[in-house]
Structure formats: structure tokens, C-alpha cells
Structure 1
């Protein structure tokens, strides 16, 4: 590889130049990977192309400095490399994060871009749509790199093989945690901006674009990706069978064939009649309206325990199984309440604090195997890889939620709320109606007892605050309602009776 000396680091690149008049193809790798991800695909490409691959900042052989990895830094080094090689017209090919970069650069510097090939482009078209996935990735990254690596392999490859895994892991392990977390945090920030409008950007894209999407992409389903790709005026979309996100690893031959054809073609917009264009505009308007209320979630796990029985749901469909055996429901709930990822030692402290360490580890292993088997026994294969286990940590590969977690969050919010006294009192009475301390009796773990004690304690604090404020406001009818409903959470036995006696003496 050649080296381009930048301000305070060295960028490694490889430029295979043939005919100076031949198309110039520039490949942008995914976050965590390096130029090696293109090796098998490049072997199938037309030999007449001029090929440029490189490792961006802090990845592969390219060094780093004290500066954080950012979109601006990556853009600056890309433009410096293009100027160094005197490339005036290029075809940009990017995968996942690299596709995001390629797309943005084509909007910023359209004068040097001839076309785009966007592989596994993330169509997070709604503001805030990337929040959970990005936050979960950062959490796993900082909690346990091995766990992060497993998730990356499971989501990126289909199937996961030893040879593909070896190449991917070699690349990932060269990259620092900060050089992965910082660009993800920047993506979350961009996705949350008031003026975020990916659909608007897709509409503004005038360059020819080829979208390649894997059949088994877990981040964004291929049918929806195809729909949103239609917003690009001169775009075409292809689904790659038997592939996940990292298509250059899963199906390099198929991807190279499509790339060869696209670069050599005229790349003119598809011919549509005026009626077809009108129908397409109407269809897009319907899609935009339907998509606005909530982001697409294909991996949503929800657990409810506050009713009469425990229920577990996967994408709104109930999962039936032996939840009362081997601490399955308590273990699952603990993972959910900890945002889906915990250290093994934390689990041992919560479930077997008094047990000898080796015995505790064996028991946890058995419990995790049972929980994993509950999901693997389901007919829906999308749930089979829900639990990711490393030597040190355990994680749930999904967007998770529990009714008790939502309940606890809501009462904590009420504890510090600044709303009107009337609205806070009514909210508290609703929370009391949903509070069922008898649920605790069906759970055996000490951490569950502490969880319910925390809930009761916070409700007690809210009740005491409200009673004092209501007394000062002279709202004695609401005080009576709260005292009648609040005996199950009174700070100490006799508290409600003392308040009732004080009200009677006042009369």
C-alpha cells in the first residue's frame, strides 16, 4: 500500500491504475473494517477499471492522532486523497457506514462524483430512528468488546463462517473503542437534529445510484429499503439473495457482476410514463404519512409481569414457554431492566450472592442455556439469535421493554414533576391503581424484592409530598382519596390513620 502523509497521521491506500480514461472506482469500507473487506469483490471486477481502496482514520493500517474520528475528518482525508491522485471524476462505492459517507459526499461535492453504489445503506428516514440501535451498540462496545464483536458478526454475515469471521475480527480488533463510539454518537446526533430529513436528501440526489441490499439484512428489511430507494430519481435497487449487511463477504461475485454492469451502463433514469410518475408520487406520499408515527422495529421484545401472569412478546406476538423454570423470567427481566446487556459477575451478584463462585457460574450457565432454548424453540427464526453470550457478558440483541421498567420510569418522573397539583394527584392515583404488591410473592430473588421495595418507597415519597401540598392548597377531598387508596404504600404503618385523625380533629 502507498502512504499519504496528512497533518498528524498517515493514510494508507492502494491505487491500481490502468487506462487513465477508464472509470475511477473509489471504495469506502464500513466502520470497524478496512480495505480488506473488498478483496474478494475486487477479484471479480472488470480489470479495466482504475481501483482505489484505502483505510480511513484509525482503521486498518492508517494511523490516528489525538483528534476524534468525525464526519469532517473523514471528508477532509477523502478529498485530500482525491486531490493527491488527481482524480476529477469518480464512482463511489460504500458499504453501511461507508455508504452513508459516500451519500453525503455526493451531495456535498457532486462535481467530482459520476455515480454511487450504496451497499446496505441504512434508511433511517425518521428523526430519532437510530437512537436505540446506536445507543445499544455503544453500550455493548464499552461493556464488552467480545460481545460487540459477536453481535457485529451475527448481524453482518450470512452465514457466519470461520473464514469470513477471521477477516472481520482481524479488522475490528485494530480499531479503538473511541474510533467506533464517536462516529456512532455523531450519527445519533445527526439523526436527532430538528432539520433531519433523509427523504428530502434522497429526493435531491441527482447522481445515478445503485442500491444493493442483502436479503437477510437485520437492520432494515429489504422491502422497505426498496421503497425508500425509489425517492432517488435516477436510482435502481437490487436485493442480493443469501446475504446480510456485509454483501462483499457474503456474495462478492453477485455484487461484482452488478457493479460491472452498472458502471459500464449508460445509467440513465428509468423511463416512466406521466401516469406512472403520478402514481409513484402518490405512493410515496402514502408511505411518508404511514411511516411518520413510529420507527420501524423488527426486533422488539416486551415482557409484562404486573398482571396476573408473566407474558413475553416478540414483535407483538406472544412467546409461550416454561418461564417459571430455572429462573427464566427473572433472568430475562433483569437483562431487560439493564438495557439488554450486563456483565456475568453482575448476574452472579444478583442471583447467587451467597453461593460458591464455581457453583454459581455453573448454575448461571444452566439458566442461560434454558433461557436461550426457550427462544430457539420458537417457530420464528428471527428470535433464535436473541441472546448473545461472551465469556464475561450477556446481551439481548433486540429493542427491549418491560411494563415494570416503564412503570418505575413513570413514577420516578412524577417524583420530580413540575406539573399542576391536580394533574400530579390524578397521575399518582392511577399509579396506585396499577400497583400490585402481591406480584412480588411469585418471585424468589433478592434483587426482585429490592426492585419492588424501590417502587413502594418512591410511591410513598410521592404520597407524602402530595399530601403536604394538598393540605396547603386546602384540597381535602383529594387528600381523602389518596389516603383511602394509599394504605398499601404508606411510609410506615399507621401513617394514613394519623392523617385521617388529623383531618377529623380539624373539623
Structure 2
């Protein structure tokens, strides 16, 4: 898939842009890239314009020029949409991408037709998780990005899938993350607030996707709010990475959600 580049005030973003129709934004997770979505983009692009940016310091995108937060990443995303002259989009955020999606929905709900958290949560980090983020910053500082990725990636997948080729693919993508980008993002995730009020207050259509065997974010953390406009889905035989582990099931849920929004 051909990549494009866009220079903005605080970052140069690389992104995939495929298909025509109503625009969909796909945001990847920590130490990922737009490549995480390679199995779902072609089919989604048959009926939609699908745009998947590399977040700052990830994939082909440059570092953020200032210390950033999840809120600043949401602002950057709004600037990105402005540059592409996109007024309304449907946003799907995987893990870290879900944190950014919630921050975007909080500040710029008028730019959304609906949004989805894919293996993500509105809850903030626990005290234990915050200590883990700080320890991982230290790990990258002392030992480099490979040490972080080698410990992280196997936990993203169901234990049943660790012999699959896509685990090695996720590692390769992770190794491409800039060390400073990983460290800045770890601190941004560590300091993010509770955003369950966004789910509680929104009238937009929402899709919450959890993995049956997710070792990172269990379904009860994803399904934090129950309302009529919020659809809750568990992807069978999947850990934290259903876009690799069970892409057909994830695609079916995304496409069904998009149809509901249109109707």
C-alpha cells in the first residue's frame, strides 16, 4: 500500500489513504503503525475512504516537536483532518489509538459520525500500570527499543497464536518505533485521565470491541459503560490484536457498525 506524507506544525505524519466514499480513520496501538491494519484496509476500502496515520514517533512519522499528551495527540489529529479537508469521519482506535479517539470525542465530537474503541478502555492506568510505564521508559533508555518490543509483543497475542507469522510482523513494526517516541508515548498513556464520562455523555454511535483472550485489556475494562447507543462485541479466539488474529470477525463488526451509522 502506498504511503503519503503530511507536514504539520509539530510533526510530519506518514499515512495510508485508500478507497473512496465516507472517510474512516484507523488509529494503531502503542509501538505499532498503520501496518497493523493491513489485513482489514483492502476490504474496508471497497466501499469507504480508509485513512490510517502513523502516530508521532511510530512507523514513518517524525517525533512530536514538544512534550505531548493524549490530548495533544487528539489536537494533532484534528489538524490532520483539517489539512485533508475532512469534516466528519468515523474513528476506530486500537489500544493507544482508543485513548486518542476518546480524547478526540471529548473535544471534537462535532467532527465524528461515530467512534470505536478496539481493545482499549476509558479507564486510566492503575497505580501498578503507571509503575510499569515508568519501568518501560527506563528499559528503553537503558537497553533500547528492541528490549521493550521483545517483552511486549508476545503479551499482545493469545497464547495460542505465538507461533504465527504475524507475531514476528508485529515485532518488526515495533522495532521501527523511535525510542524517544516510545518513551514520550509511555508517559502520555501513564498520565491520561479517566474518560468514562465521554462514553456516558455521548449520543454518537459507539462500538466497543474486546478480545476473548486479551491479556492486556480484559473485556470488563472495555465494556465500562452500557447504553443504547453503545454496542459491545467480543471477538472470539483473539487476544489484543484481532486485526491480525481474527480479521474477518473484526471486519464484520466494523462493517456492520458502519451500516448502522448510515441507516
TM tier, shorter chain? Answer: 0.7 to 0.9
How many residue pairs are counted as aligned between the two chains? 258
TM-score of the superposed pair, with normalisation by structure 1: 0.47
Superposed displacement of residue 24, structure 1: 1.1
Render the CA deviation track for 1:369-416: whole Å, top value 9, x for unaligned: xxxxxxxxxxxxxxxxxxxxxxxxxxxxxxxxxxxxxxxxxxxxxxxx
Superposed displacement of residue 28, structure 1: 0.7
Superposed displacement of residue 71, structure 1: 2.8
CA distance in 2 between partners of 1:169 and 1:257 (Å): 26
CA distance in 1 between partners of 2:80 and 2:125 (Å): 33
CA contact (8 A) 1:31 1:97 kept: yes
Render the CA deviation track for 1:326-351: whole Å, top value 9, x for unaligned: xxxxxxxxxxxxxxxxxxxxxxxxxx
Q: Which protein is richer in helix relative to its size?
A: 1
Secondary structure, counterpart of 1:44 in structure 2: helix
Q: 1:211 aligns with which of 208, 212, 215?
A: 208
Render the CA deviation track for 1:39-79: whole Å, top value 9, x for unaligned: 00123336111111111212111123653343354233312
Q: 1:261 aligns with which of 231, 256, 259?
A: 256
CA contact (8 A) 1:122 1:219 kept: no
Secondary structure, counterpart of 1:51 in structure 2: strand
Superposed displacement of residue 127, structure 1: 6.5
> Superposed, which structure 2 residues align to 1:238-277 within 5 Å?
238-266=233-261
CA contact (8 A) 1:68 1:179 kept: no
Gap regions ≥5 residues in structure 2: none
The Cα RMSD (Å) is: 2.5
**Would you say 1:163 and 2:165 are equivalent positions?**
yes
CA distance in 1 between partners of 2:12 and 2:187 (Å): 25
CA distance in 2 between partners of 1:186 and 1:64 (Å): 14
Relative to structure 1, is the Cα distance of residues 205 and 141 closer, same or farther in structure 2, using a 3 angstrom cutoff?
farther
CA contact (8 A) 1:211 1:236 kept: yes
CA contact (8 A) 1:23 1:90 kept: yes
Gap regions ≥5 residues in structure 1: 192-196, 269-507
CA distance in 2 between partners of 1:82 and 1:45 (Å): 19
> Superposed, which structure 2 residues align to 1:418-429 within 5 Å?
none
Relative to structure 1, is the Cα distance of residues 233 and 127 closer, same or farther in structure 2, using a 3 angstrom cutoff?
farther
Secondary structure, counterpart of 1:56 in structure 2: coil
Render the CA deviation track for 1:16-47: whole Å, top value 9, x for unaligned: 242xxx32101111121110000001233361
CA distance in 2 between partners of 1:8 and 1:116 (Å): 25
Higher relative contact order (CA 8 A, sep 6+): 2
CA distance in 2 between partners of 1:66 and 1:87 (Å): 24
CA distance in 2 between partners of 1:31 and 1:25 (Å): 20
Render the CA deviation track for 1:138-162: whole Å, top value 9, x for unaligned: 3443444444223322211221235
Superposed displacement of residue 80, structure 1: 2.2
CA distance in 2 between partners of 1:7 and 1:108 (Å): 20
CA distance in 2 between partners of 1:130 and 1:201 (Å): 22
Secondary structure, counterpart of 1:15 in structure 2: strand
CA distance in 2 between partners of 1:226 and 1:13 (Å): 27
Relative to structure 1, is the Cα distance of residues 266 and 55 closer, same or farther in structure 2, using a 3 angstrom cutoff?
closer
**Would you say 1:175 and 2:171 are equivalent positions?**
no
CA contact (8 A) 2:10 2:64 kept: yes
